[in-house]
Structure 1
């Protein structure tokens, strides 16, 4: 292991702690954030409950005091340390499509096996550098960012639980230090194989050796798996149901060893038969392809199509988009995974991973496969691509690129659905110790005035420009507040979770009416859920919608281009397609509107909501 300030985790203990807002600050911001979405009566009802929530002898004071005490405890890195496991591991719906996210990589023109071998070699090379803490810390605008999430890239597996999931991972009390596993999981036609990627002495196999191993696996797995035998389908189930299925698996001899192989594997490699018809088909398949050729609980799954196109599917509980972007940018920057420390060793060892399945388990696997296929079919998606617009064009117009596109989303949504709806944007906070993301709510009074002015026949261009610039300035200011930890939602949410976990102990047994108010429920019921992943190495970023009326907006905003993947439940697909059409129009309309006025010299705010 190397030492010094350039080691991977050198700054972790010296990073500033994320500030814990006061109760008054969060309640004031909450009212400010929800107000533009509410009717006067809804706002009045919410204000009354906030006042009750803040009373000096109220339960909120005890909950906040408990959070302050927790934040001051030795070994606690952030007041959000408990929040994140509850947020991600406590969800009980399926994570496939609903929580996992994807990136579609730039194409290289390589064959499937050549691309796969290069990706595996590069990923293993990254792991070996990480083991020695030789991945340099990311520094942004002179500030180091937390690298803690890198510990969850390899050999990390989410384990389903009846009430809450757990995570099996290295760098933990149960598994100190880096993973010493030497194998990955390879899926082909629903068949699962263990493939060694490190030799017995820990040396990585060369891309050529790995290619030989992959060719052998594809030959061994040439016959598609029999129906009801691809156990990966079970990872598409709702979490408590999957937990019950996992317990049933463990009642059969040998399955514990198979699960051990799966759960300790460094990562998954999924070799697909499919040649995607276009980028949309590729993204859809990356996000919710054949569940039998996946293990959605693994932190990282590299997926390579039959024509060599490739991407990644990521389990979200320990990994945010910014960490995956750094990982992807590094492994895709390696020339075909050619590492000088990987001399030829010969074809690596591989063997099938097989589960003992009785009739009931086979029926369970098949039912999961059928249910997830129907769930995927009930999801609609589309892509929107701008080859003539990117971040540089927004800057030339004197506007923050992220503010520009977020306001375009608001205008398109108003025109597509007839209203301004609750909008979530993920804001990275990795400059703090164990920092992850903050929840930003995009709709402000300035946004409402802007979209109203754009469709007001009486508003002249100067009025519309002024409304746009005011909304953009407010967007940048709010994003900066979120980056500084000055946001209400996660604070208030954690107080609610403390009441659920420790209410009796703290004397908080009555219902907390704040969390039933229109302000809380309306603000958090997304019409748009948005997140950005800027990287020249990826074509598209994707994730699913968060509710029955939500459009998921995953966007890649680069200097010269802008690609978006939209997802929504199929019953409301028409509104999504209309939104896509209105968005194309809105981008052009706003460019024309702003081009008529000179850019402000101080309006180049770079406040982008990075991938969450």
Structure 2
């Protein structure tokens, strides 16, 4: 199984699924030709061919979970705290935890169509009452179109919209290449292999791929990409999808517009007509509404649920259905992007008027053509979003539907484009005003900063036989120790999409190895030779690799303990002492929440901290440089953290080059 482990250590996604599969790019596909066609590709293997035969997500052994949990606690606890936690673990493993584990295993055997984590994970997202903005929704920004003239807002919005609809058509017609990681593409990513594997029955197909070192991934979340919205409900939200709807939702200056992008036969409306309709919307000179409805999607979910009922009862039900069922939401912003920090704020939250935060995703295109995807997280994780993201970038830049010289169709857009209007009572206006005040107050508290370390990246670190991701994670540990003098709970999410209905597992980068190494670099560098520091770096890299492999194989501890706790609550079983132990609360208070982004299409990504006193760290280790985008609230200083991070990376590179480290 070693090749499988090698694959899976690559499948990392961010805490909110912000993506990331370094090197995992959708497999080779057949383009339909420049600027034309209904499809992105025509896969000879049906899109969902492997889904039925995907292996099931394993439930770890309880004793392994306890051992891994204690290992993750060691760098965070003093001796007395650790002894108490060890006792809690022993009691849990031999008592209530054992009973819950047996119940979980029995329940899992009865539900072979899914994974043990899928239901509890949906519950976790949908029962959360906090605003989805900052707390859950992340963003990924596209690189500019390589052809500068194609970054005109109208041209790029048209091309990306058409490419997104091509993706929808390709997916629904079963012509999208299955998501597969190829360890030996010369054998498995070939027409010859595909012609054979397509005739293998679905319930056996995964095994056929495995024989040639190809590893299909779960694609069960993909159908929620389109025509989907998270609906606010009291206590627990619902995911809504209406695959029959054919219209696009466009937001501009807080106004809502819809027009069909698919005709009655399911064919894509001509790109020149889509371009004409978008041009028509861009020429609407209406000012921003006094009470922009979009603010409501940033509210507390119970508050929003109550207000939504008032909207429906006030005669807005059918209009809201058009918003909810739209293929996706295209947001056209009326200003250019100044820099990466401005880009991050714009795409992560904006001014609240021009996003429908509940849609499965918002495709945002700024005045200068800067584009991003902002996505709601309950429906799925970063693997599906990144695949969509990569395909849209590739198709819109390589086979654009329109050119800067293209003339929009001579069509009556005033008849085709419907501007949605909402009836707002005084109570609804008050609710919008309150949501606006809350939104603006919250956004003022968020700081974002970024930097690029240009001294080296993946190529140099691999020559040193070190994991680039392990070095980045170690640098975060060192930076926090330098800034605040502590080692704290750290979260790095790992995709378990190699399993049926897999979601994520947690890598815990803070370890006894990173703590020892960080203290050597930060507190006493003069006492250690370069070779001694290099040895510690190698230990950190090796252990991080082990943690990554275990997590990718579903062998972490976080999801198992989460599922056991969820089961106890569902069965009315008193919460075991393990969960009441302050150490459990502390390790789940993730002060460093991290996500790596790696794709030729991604410019930058980002998300907010998951706790008030934390950092949200989006990063990428490129071939020759390292990028980092960090967010914080007033309790922490993102800019100072980046200064410390740069110093720590310099020290690591000095040590690797045999230089002494300055105190």
Give the alignment's TM-score, normalised by structure 2. Answer: 0.84
The residue that corresponds to 2:13 in the other structure is none
The residue that corresponds to 2:134 in the other structure is 97
Would you say 1:162 and 2:234 are equivalent positions?
yes
Residues 91-111 of structure 1: per-residue CA shift (max 9 Å, x gap): 111111211010111112321
Contact 1:205 1:345 in 2 (8 A): no
Would you say 1:547 and 2:547 are equivalent positions?
no
Query: Once the 2 structures are TM-superposed, how far is the Cα of residue 74 of structure 1 from its aligned partner?
Result: 4.3
Would you say 1:289 and 2:350 are equivalent positions?
yes
Instruction: After superposing the two structures, state which structure 1 stretch, 22-31 or 303-312, moved more.
Output: 22-31
The residue that corresponds to 1:462 in the other structure is 531
The residue that corresponds to 1:25 in the other structure is 64
Would you say 1:60 and 2:124 are equivalent positions?
no
Query: Once the 2 structures are TM-superposed, how far is the Cα of residue 147 of structure 1 from its aligned partner?
Result: 1.5
The residue that corresponds to 1:47 in the other structure is 86
CA distance in structure 1 between the partners assigned to 2:287 and 2:626 by the alignment: 38
Would you say 1:136 and 2:177 are equivalent positions?
yes
Matches within 5 A, 1:74-85: 74=111, 76-85=113-122
Q: Secondary structure at the match of 1:393?
A: helix
Do the aligned partners of residues 256 and 32 (structure 1) sit closer, same or farther apart at CA in structure 2, a change above 3 Å counting? same
Query: Once the 2 structures are TM-superposed, how far is the Cα of residue 44 of structure 1 from its aligned partner?
Result: 1.2
Would you say 1:578 and 2:640 are equivalent positions?
yes
The residue that corresponds to 1:124 in the other structure is 165
Q: 2:437 aligns with which of 360, 364, 370?
A: 370
Contact 1:34 1:522 in 2 (8 A): no
Contact 2:592 2:617 in 1 (8 A): yes
Contact 1:541 1:556 in 2 (8 A): no
Matches within 5 A, 1:256-335: 256-335=317-396
Matches within 5 A, 1:195-206: 195-206=259-270
Do the aligned partners of residues 10 and 201 (structure 1) sit closer, same or farther apart at CA in structure 2, a change above 3 Å counting? same
Q: Secondary structure at the match of 1:185?
A: strand
Query: Once the 2 structures are TM-superposed, how far is the Cα of residue 271 of structure 1 from its aligned partner?
Result: 0.6
Residues 493-547 of structure 1: per-residue CA shift (max 9 Å, x gap): 11111111222xxxx2x33211121331121111210011201111101111011
CA distance in structure 2 between the partners assigned to 1:301 and 1:345 by the alignment: 28
Contact 1:187 1:193 in 2 (8 A): yes
Query: Once the 2 structures are TM-superposed, how far is the Cα of residue 240 of structure 1 from its aligned partner?
Result: 1.1
Would you say 1:441 and 2:508 are equivalent positions?
yes
Instruction: After superposing the two structures, state which structure 1 stretch, 285-294 or 121-130, moved more.
Output: 285-294
Instruction: After superposing the two structures, state which structure 1 stretch, 449-458 or 231-240, moved more.
Output: 449-458
Instruction: After superposing the two structures, state which structure 1 stretch, 388-397 or 132-141, moved more.
Output: 388-397
Runs of 5+ in structure 1 lacking a partner?
Answer: 171-178, 598-612
Residues 172-208 of structure 1: per-residue CA shift (max 9 Å, x gap): xxxxxxx121111100101011121112332212332
Q: 1:226 aligns with which of 274, 289, 300?
A: 289
The residue that corresponds to 1:73 in the other structure is 110
Query: Once the 2 structures are TM-superposed, how far is the Cα of residue 274 of structure 1 from its aligned partner?
Result: 2.1
The residue that corresponds to 2:187 in the other structure is none
Instruction: After superposing the two structures, state which structure 1 stretch, 376-385 or 25-34, moved more.
Output: 25-34
Would you say 1:472 and 2:544 are equivalent positions?
no
Runs of 5+ in structure 2 lacking a partner?
Answer: 1-38, 184-213
Contact 2:154 2:279 in 1 (8 A): yes
CA distance in structure 2 between the partners assigned to 1:477 and 1:420 by the alignment: 20
Query: Once the 2 structures are TM-superposed, how far is the Cα of residue 22 of structure 1 from its aligned partner?
Result: 2.1
CA distance in structure 1 between the partners assigned to 2:597 and 2:503 by the alignment: 15
Query: Once the 2 structures are TM-superposed, how far is the Cα of residue 54 of structure 1 from its aligned partner?
Result: 2.0
CA distance in structure 1 between the partners assigned to 2:448 and 2:340 by the alignment: 11
Contact 1:322 1:533 in 2 (8 A): no
Do the aligned partners of residues 345 and 129 (structure 1) sit closer, same or farther apart at CA in structure 2, a change above 3 Å counting? farther
CA distance in structure 2 between the partners assigned to 1:384 and 1:515 by the alignment: 38
Residues 290-326 of structure 1: per-residue CA shift (max 9 Å, x gap): 2221110101110011111111101111232222111
Instruction: After superposing the two structures, state which structure 1 stretch, 445-454 or 120-129, moved more.
Output: 445-454
Query: Once the 2 structures are TM-superposed, how far is the Cα of residue 77 of structure 1 from its aligned partner?
Result: 1.4
CA distance in structure 1 between the partners assigned to 2:350 and 2:77 by the alignment: 39
Do the aligned partners of residues 104 and 91 (structure 1) sit closer, same or farther apart at CA in structure 2, a change above 3 Å counting? same
Contact 2:229 2:239 in 1 (8 A): yes
The residue that corresponds to 1:606 in the other structure is none
The residue that corresponds to 1:602 in the other structure is none
Task: Report how many residues are paired.
Answer: 576
The residue that corresponds to 2:219 in the other structure is 147
Structure 1 runs of 4+ off > 4 angstroms? 1-5, 342-348
Give the alignment's TM-score, normalised by structure 1. Answer: 0.90
CA distance in structure 1 between the partners assigned to 2:99 and 2:232 by the alignment: 32
The residue that corresponds to 2:246 in the other structure is 182
Do the aligned partners of residues 473 and 198 (structure 1) sit closer, same or farther apart at CA in structure 2, a change above 3 Å counting? same
Contact 2:448 2:629 in 1 (8 A): yes
Q: Secondary structure at the match of 1:560?
A: coil
CA distance in structure 1 between the partners assigned to 2:631 and 2:159 by the alignment: 31
Query: Once the 2 structures are TM-superposed, how far is the Cα of residue 339 of structure 1 from its aligned partner?
Result: 5.3
The residue that corresponds to 1:492 in the other structure is 561
Instruction: After superposing the two structures, state which structure 1 stretch, 430-439 or 115-124, moved more.
Output: 430-439
Aligned residues: CA RMSD: 2.1
Residues 110-143 of structure 1: per-residue CA shift (max 9 Å, x gap): 2111111111000001000001111111222321
CA distance in structure 1 between the partners assigned to 2:636 and 2:368 by the alignment: 33
Would you say 1:106 and 2:155 are equivalent positions?
no
Would you say 1:560 and 2:597 are equivalent positions?
no
Query: Once the 2 structures are TM-superposed, how far is the Cα of residue 388 of structure 1 from its aligned partner?
Result: 4.4
Residues 147-175 of structure 1: per-residue CA shift (max 9 Å, x gap): 222111101111112211110125xxxxx
Would you say 1:8 and 2:72 are equivalent positions?
no
